[in-house]
Amino acid sequence: MELELWVRLDPESGDVDAEVELAGFDGFFLHRDLDVETLTPGATVEVSTDTSAHLDRVNGYRIAGADPVRLRYRGRLPETMAEGTNVLNDDVLELSIYSAWYPVPLDLGSFSWRLHLDVPSGWRLFTNGEPGQDGVLHHDGNAATGDIAVAGARKVDVMHLADGVELVTCGSVGDAASELGPLIVQGLALLRNWYGAPERLDAGRVVVTERGGYPYSRMPTVFASAEMVEKQTARNVHVLGHELAHFWWNIAPVASHDDWINEALAEYSALRLTEELVGSEASDKVVRGYQLEAEMSREDPPMAHTDPDDEKSYATNKYNRGSLFFRALAELLEPNELDALLTRFHTAHAVAGDASIEGFVELLRQADPALAGEAQRVLEERAWDGHWPGVSLTTIP
């Protein structure tokens, strides 16, 4: 799928006026405050019954009669969207898939895009795309996560960290951001030591915007909130660690049950980072909490069959059970053996983004056939309780 977008955006008022050409799309989601009209003769775009638990206040649309199709949409977006994760005001802006400010594929899958963005003078913007020779931002579709994420402000500070990584603050983030830099450097160094150099990352960026809500990663950029930075609790260090880990664990398609790979390995890595950067007491608290939630969630499907749009089991299966699953494997294998397997796994699938749960089990089978069989059983077990017989998942008994 391909998308090219020409958009005029006024952050202060929230006004959006855009034209878009879609190729290979059979439909899309768009924020319900934006009105759509068809510009391609013979094409129709009609409101559908499609819904998504991951998007905020959207309408679904189905396309017929032409491919590619050119549309125009316009309207006024609210100041805050997606629980404060997306914002538009006279100081800062951040927009992404969660607010559906552009036509989002119905399957939430990956796509190639080109973005022509017109904002008032004085704004500096950062995206998950790359500037082309013509100055147009673009991103190829060979990525596990499809999104056009944009953050910016009139007041922007850029801190250059190690290995080409930047820390960008948008708006009045405060002095806490300066303490975030060393934390990012330490976290990335540990991840690189465990899993080798990330295949798709020449240089990364962490963008912190003056907003609330949750962080998310859209390689090669992590988008985080000032609220999280200002409160560097053990939990927030853990959450940031999860997003940093996606520099490595963004190797499976998000629009399938194999997205479990991305989230489970990012959360397992976050657990390890919490242990290293905060301490064993903090990581053990997370483990015990995850085991308790797994024990209480008795209606969840097997981890290997988690629907990508199943909001109910998303967290318990992908984050909680997923991190416990890999922590158990680390205990059952020889020291550093799981890291070696995961390094091979990342290298094999990072560029194509085609990793699968079955592929990981096969890789594990090459190292330990008996353990691979047991791992397969756990992955297929409905509502696994988070305990592996004979294995302690906490550092401190």
For residue 172, the model assigns a pLDDT of 85
Beta-carbon neighbour count of residue 343 at 10 Å?
16
Q: What is the pLDDT of residue 54?
A: 79
Please, what are the domains in the chain? 1-152 (2.60.40.3650), 155-247 (1.10.390.10), 259-379 (1.10.390.10)
> What pLDDT is stored for residue 131 in this prediction?
72
Mean pLDDT, each 10-residue run in order, the chain (397 residues): 95 97 97 97 95 87 97 97 94 95 92 92 90 66 73 92 87 77 92 89 82 89 85 83 94 90 97 95 95 92 87 87 97 95 96 94 97 97 92 80
pLDDT score, position 236: 85
Nearest alpha carbon to residue 79 among 63, 68, 95:
95
Supply the pLDDT for residue 132.
62
pLDDT, residue 315, reads 86
The amino acid at residue 357 is I
Q: How far apart are the first and last CA of the chain?
A: 51
pLDDT at 204: 84
State how far the Cα of 347 lies from the Cα of 393, in Å rounded to an integer.
27
Q: Going along 86-196, which residue ranges are E strands?
A: 86-88, 92-95, 104-105, 112-118, 124-127, 130-131, 137-139, 150-153, 156-160, 166-170
Full-model pTM: 0.90
**Edge-to-edge, what's the strand order for the sheet holding 216-218?**
156-160, 166-170, 205-209, 221-225, 216-218
In angstroms, the Cα distances linking 252 to 39, 272, 352 are 35, 21, 9
